[in-house]
Amino acid sequence: NRGAKGRSYTGATVGDSHVDVMILYTTAVTAAIADPAGEAAIRVASSNQMLKDSCVNFRFRLVHTAEVS
């Protein structure tokens, strides 16, 4: 799946129940974490793997990350 501006969605596959997730973070987070958007993608993928391993037919889909002031 591809989102706005060609970004790939993290997690959900066709036929799964899913929730679209948008993660917004402050400049303080950017100062503390080198790649907040990448960290968010890793966390969503990890959550989806745990759901899959538990045979749960539900996934999170990261559709947007952005820094806010």
What per-residue confidence (pLDDT) applies to 37?
96
Estimate the share of the chain in helix, then strand, then coil, as percent rounded to the nearest 5: 40, 35, 25
Amino acid 48: pLDDT: 96
pLDDT of residue 3: 47
Those residues of the chain that have pLDDT short of 50 are 1-4, 6
9 token code pair: 């969605």
Tokens 């806010």 belong to 68
0.85 exceeded by the pTM?
no
Separation CA 63–CA 21 (nearest Å): 6
